[in-house]
């Protein structure tokens, strides 16, 4: 059983005091505890059952504007005291950095309860029920004869607590829950196989997709690829399914992250206030959307989360910053020390079907593999697969192709934005159509 957050508040407070008494100017202590359960089912049988309780503590100290950090999953007092003393000593080796230090202002922290990120039903869920969920989704998926194999069906639950105390007087903790369920399948024959699946995750049990929905989505995603062929290289309009839009936003995130901005590792450095996208494009990060997967009361530095408009009708308004990068950029933390909270592209009005109908000859992008995204240039080049669109209709599947382009160029050429935005992943977006992208093939 995990120890209570109260106990951790005390442990963190004592360690902060210990650090201050041992020569640190500023100390921050974070304690995370998690209880995880997961079951993997394959071909109707349990393949793996996992259960674990873990706890980890991390320390940041600043001595004379010099920073050092440490972490330990060994929470014995002796280890923690030695680690604190070593970290303080280690900080003195670093160079003085006038931008170093804990946040000056943590913002207003309201009750974590309003954020709806903890559902007591999840920790109470019975093991049998979770196994049944996993088996059910797989069974339904495999009942479709076009599906040849299951890579497995899984259900994972996590409940945990985060506690943060620092020497500037911040002290806070919150609990959160997560349940995820997904199935991953194979279809095709001979050497022409296709792997696809679907998983859903949420913080509230009642909100989880039913096994039928997950199976149906996974089956649809894998079977529609059967018989995929290569196509000739050409420049065409490309429709991004919501998860593909999210992939693009994930890349945008690294291009607007304070760290990459002050290091000038991003093509969007020095672009604040400039028009970088079409006026239909608005991108927001909001850490306070009740029940959303990236919602949290405060970030890794104890700074309260908030709503930050990154791109407002095409204009670059804000970078996402932690305390350090904000100081480097002469600004204030946006509560993004933990990365994106809920980062999304604002929905448009068009039904996704009508987005596809608008394409005479082009690609519906359904999946990508590989890396190939460079923040310093905005260049994108990835392996891709999807469905070819002819005269507004889905015509035939395509695979072993590449898409390549530049994020800046894509943002300026978002032709249509769909109305299908949901908050089931922390980075999310609706269906979009980009007027022209290079698709590489034969």
Partner 1 sequence: MTSKPNKDPDIADTDPYHLFDMHFKITDRNITKILSEALSTGGDFAELFFEYRMAGSMLMEEDILKESSQHISMGIGVRVLKNDQTGYAYTNEPVQKKIIQAARTAAAIACGNGSVRTAGFERKLPVYQNYDMHLPLHRQSFDTKYHLLQSAYVSARDLDTRIENVQATLADEIRSVTIANSEGLFISDLRPQVRMAVRVTAREKDRRNTGLSTGGGRIGLKYFRDDTTPETIGKKAAQEAITLLSAVDPPAGEWPVVLGCEHSGVMIHEAVGHPLEADTNRKKTSIMWDKLGKQVAGSAVTIYDDPTLPHLRGSLNIDDEGTIPEKCILIEKGKLVGFLQDRLSAKLMNLPPNGHGRRGSYQDIPIPRMANTILAKGEADPEDIIRSVKNGFYAKSFQGGQVQNSGKFTFSVNLGYLIENGKLTKPVKNATLIGTNVQILNEVEMIGNDIGFFLGTCGKDGQSAPVTAGTPTMKIRKMTVGGR
- Binding to partner 1 (CB under 8 A) within 144-183 occurs at 149, 151
Residue 43 or 393 with smaller CB distance to partner 1:
43
Exposed / middle / buried, residue 393 (Cβ in 10 Å: 0-12, 13-18, 19+) = exposed
Which of 103, 160, 172, 188 touches partner 1 by CB under 8 A? 188
CB under 8 A: which stretch of 63-71, 161-169, 288-296, 331-339 binds partner 1?
63-71
For position 22 contacting partner 1 by CB under 8 A, the verdict is no
For position 413 contacting partner 1 by CB under 8 A, the verdict is no
Other C-beta atoms lying within 10 Å of the C-beta of residue 151: 15
Residue 69 or 279 with smaller CB distance to partner 1:
69
CB under 8 A: which stretch of 74-82, 108-116, 242-250, 299-307 binds partner 1?
74-82
Residue 70 or 205 with smaller CB distance to partner 1:
70
For position 383 contacting partner 1 by CB under 8 A, the verdict is yes
Site for partner 1 in 319-358 (CB under 8 A): none
For position 4 contacting partner 1 by CB under 8 A, the verdict is no
For position 300 contacting partner 1 by CB under 8 A, the verdict is no
CB under 8 A: which stretch of 62-70, 175-183, 213-221, 277-285 binds partner 1?
62-70
For position 42 contacting partner 1 by CB under 8 A, the verdict is yes
Residue 40 or 119 with smaller CB distance to partner 1:
40
Retrieve residue 44's tokens: 């109707």
Report phi then psi at 12, rounded to 5. Answer: -65, -45
CA–CA separation, 298 and 26 (whole Å):
19
- Residue 382 CB, nearest approach to partner 1 (Å): 6
CA–CA separation, 161 and 297 (whole Å):
12
Q: Is 305 left (phi over 0), alpha (psi -120 to 50) or beta?
A: beta
CB under 8 A: which stretch of 161-169, 203-211, 373-381, 388-396 binds partner 1?
373-381
Retrieve residue 18's tokens: 């210990």
- Residue 425 CB, nearest approach to partner 1 (Å): 16
- Residue 28 CB, nearest approach to partner 1 (Å): 13
Cα separation of the two ends of the chain: 57
C-alpha closest to that of 375 among 253, 193, 242:
253
Which of 10, 53, 105, 393 touches partner 1 by CB under 8 A? 53
CB under 8 A: which stretch of 139-147, 190-198, 202-210, 331-339 binds partner 1?
190-198
CB under 8 A: which stretch of 6-14, 23-31, 111-119, 393-401 binds partner 1?
393-401
Which of 7, 50, 360, 361 touches partner 1 by CB under 8 A? 50
Number of residues forming the site for partner 1 (CB under 8 A)? 73
CA–CA separation, 228 and 148 (whole Å):
16
Which of 21, 220, 264, 274 touches partner 1 by CB under 8 A? 264
For position 400 contacting partner 1 by CB under 8 A, the verdict is yes
For position 129 contacting partner 1 by CB under 8 A, the verdict is no
For position 65 contacting partner 1 by CB under 8 A, the verdict is no
Site for partner 1 in 227-256 (CB under 8 A): 230, 233
Site for partner 1 in 422-441 (CB under 8 A): 438, 440-441
Q: Which residues lie closer than 8 Å to 135 by C-beta, 6 or more apart?
A: 41, 44, 153
Site for partner 1 in 82-121 (CB under 8 A): 83, 86-87, 90-91, 93-97
């Amino acid at each position: 059983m995990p120890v209570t957050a109260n106990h951790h508040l005390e442990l963190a407070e004592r360690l902060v005091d210990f650090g201050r008494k041992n020569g640190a100017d500023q100390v921050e202590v974070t304690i995370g505890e998690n209880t995880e359960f997961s079951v993997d089912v394959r071909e109707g049988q349990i393949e793996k059952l996992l259960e674990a309780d873990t706890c980890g503590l991390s320390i940041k100290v600043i001595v004379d504007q010099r920073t050092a950090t440490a972490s330990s999953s060994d929470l014995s007092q002796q280890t923690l005291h030695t680690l604190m003393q070593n970290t303080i000593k280690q900080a003195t080796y670093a160079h003085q950095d006038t931008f170093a230090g804990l946040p000056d202002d943590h913002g207003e922290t309201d009750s974590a309860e309003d954020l709806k990120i903890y559902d007591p039903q999840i920790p109470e869920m019975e093991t049998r029920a979770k196994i049944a969920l996993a088996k059910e989704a797989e069974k339904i998926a495999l009942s479709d004869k076009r599906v040849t194999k299951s890579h497995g069906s899984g259900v994972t639950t996590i409940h945990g607590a985060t506690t943060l105390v620092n020497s500037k007087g911040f002290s806070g903790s919150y609990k959160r829950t997560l349940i995820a369920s997904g199935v991953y399948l194979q279809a095709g024959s001979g050497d022409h196989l296709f792997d696809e699946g679907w998983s859903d995750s949420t913080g509230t049990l009642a909100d989880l997709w039913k096994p039928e929905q997950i199976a149906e989505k996974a089956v649809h995603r894998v079977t529609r690829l059967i018989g995929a062929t290569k196509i000739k290289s050409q420049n065409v309009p490309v429709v991004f399914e919501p998860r593909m839009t999210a992939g693009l936003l994930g890349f945008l995130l690294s291009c607007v992250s304070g760290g990459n901005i002050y290091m000038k590792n991003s093509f969007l450095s020095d672009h604040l206030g400039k028009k970088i996208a079409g006026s239909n494009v608005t991108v927001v990060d909001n850490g306070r959307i009740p029940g959303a997967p990236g919602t949290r009361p405060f970030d890794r530095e104890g700074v309260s989360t908030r709503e930050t408009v990154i791109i407002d009708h095409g204009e670059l308004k804000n970078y996402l910053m932690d305390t350090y990068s904000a100081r480097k950029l002469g600004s204030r933390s946006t509560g993004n020390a933990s990365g994106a909270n809920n980062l999304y592209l604002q929905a448009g009005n068009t039904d996704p079907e009508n987005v596809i109908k608008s394409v005479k000859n082009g690609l519906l992008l359904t999946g990508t593999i590989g890396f190939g995204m460079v923040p310093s240039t905005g260049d994108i080049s990835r392996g891709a697969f999807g469905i070819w669109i002819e005269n507004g209709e889905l015509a035939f599947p395509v695979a072993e192709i590449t898409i390549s382009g530049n994020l800046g160029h894509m943002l300026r050429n978002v032709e249509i934005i769909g109305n299908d935005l949901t908050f089931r992943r922390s980075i999310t977006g609706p269906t979009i159509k980009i007027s022209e992208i290079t698709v590489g093939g034969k």
